[in-house]
Amino acid sequence: MKLIIDAMGGDHAPVEIIKGAVQVLNSEPKLELIFTGPEEVLKNELLKYTYDIERVEIVDATEVITMDEHPVAAIKHKRNSSMVVGLELLKSKRGDAFITAGSTGATLAGALLRVGRIKGIQRPGLAPILPNKNKGVVLIDCGANMDCKPVNLAQFAIMGSIYAEHILDVTAPRVGLASVGTEDEKGNELSKASFQLIKEQNAVNFVGNIEGRDIFDKVDVVVADGFSGNLILKSVEGMGGYIFDSLKKALTSSLLTKLGALLMKSALYKMKKTLDYTTYGGAPLLGIDGIIIKAHGSTKAKALEYTIAQAMRMVDADIVNVIRSNITAEETTD
């Protein structure tokens, strides 16, 4: 299995990206890596580590797409950027998956322009996994599509379900539609129209409308338009950070609480870990004709390791072809 990694994407590239990638390389004998980025820089960075050089390739890319560039313009003009070069390698099947911690907008634009969609998929969906009381929950779409049509949400439901089944290892994943109440008739125009379409799909175990709070318990997949989905994702992240800040303050407010905190250090650490969304890796762009994972911009070595593990599971599950055959099946059924 060969993964292509944008060595220049994200806030901590290339140092943390190379570090995390080499770590996994040394524990996964079947793994091969292609790094895209300025050859000299990457070579120097790699000199820090001991690893099987036979399984690592550098493909030179002299440019870097920054976070503040216009995504489409950047993809069109920076043909020698680590991102575009990586996407082209994926397109030409030189690798099985592409990982980048670079700009989300550029990743999305690049995926569409350089790799393209699976035939029959109208819009790809960004699908991160959030921790919940079960094995985690796939939230699709989280920002790739601002204004959606019902057919987009219906396809997100199929793709999210396939992804949850193979990556979270859930049989017949429960798919919920993000709405403002659990009754069938609740929602806005888009969600109400999408409800009917999702319900008609045989491949989806649709449990109906769910509210924001049900994410953490009742479903394995949440389907939403990219605007709402992004607000859910970021609000939940924000709330998590806010509570942990408050908890930290409470734990360090007096000598007594500091002592108490000491006694439960390992339990609190374990709890924090179960709530850590980075352990699930990055957000795949489902519906693209190739495996592309957008890792968080703040990705460090450990988070990249999780993302590589996620990419390997996706390659093993042959996710793209499973989606392809399900989309064709739904179209034939209709």
Q: Under the rule (CB under 8 A), what is the footprint of a second copy?
A: 132-133, 143, 146-147, 178-180, 187-189, 191, 211-217, 224-228, 230-243, 245-247, 249-251, 253-254, 256-257, 259-264, 267-268, 270-271, 274-275
Nearer Cβ to a second copy (11/245): 245
Nearer to a second copy, 119 or 258 (CB): 258
For residue 84, the minimal CB distance to a second copy (Å) is 22
| Smallest separation (angstroms) from a second copy to the CB of 323 | 25
> For residue 186, which amino acid is it?
K
Shortest reach from residue 93's CB to a second copy, in Å: 33
Q: Least distance (Å) from a second copy to the CB of residue 163?
A: 20
The nearer residue to a second copy, 86 or 226, going by C-beta atoms, is 226
- Nearest to a second copy of 20, 187 (CB atom): 187
CB-count exposure of residue 321 (10 Å: 0-12, 13-18, 19+): exposed
The rounded distance, in Å, linking the Cα atoms of 222 and 198 is 12
**Do 98 and 4 form a contact (C-beta atoms < 8 A)?**
yes
Looking at the Cβ atoms of 43 and 270, the one nearer to a second copy is 270
69-75, long-range: CB < 8 A, 24+ apart: 69/103, 69/106, 71/103, 71/105, 71/106, 71/108, 71/109, 71/110, 72/109, 72/113, 74/103, 74/106, 74/109, 75/106, 75/109, 75/110, 75/113, 75/114
Using a 10 angstrom Cβ sphere, with 0-12 exposed, 13-18 middle and 19 or more buried, the burial of residue 295 is buried
In whole angstroms, how close is the CB of 13 to a second copy at the nearest point?
21
Work out how close the CB of 284 gets to a second copy at its nearest, in angstroms, rounded to a whole number.
18
- Our CB check for a second copy shows the closer of 15 and 264 to be 264
Backbone angles phi, psi at 37, to 5 degrees: 155, 180
Distance CA 108, CA 218 (A): 30
Q: How far apart are CA 123 and CA 155, in angstroms?
A: 8
**Closer CB to a second copy, 49 or 227, in the complex:** 227
SS3 45: helix
**Alpha helices of 47-144 — where are they, by DSSP H?**
71-77, 82-91, 104-110
Least Å from the CB of residue 241 to a second copy: 7
Which lies closer to a second copy via its Cβ, residue 275 or residue 322?
Answer: 275
| CB contact set of 54 (below 8 Å; sequence gap of 6+) | none
CB of 214 to a second copy, least distance (A): 7
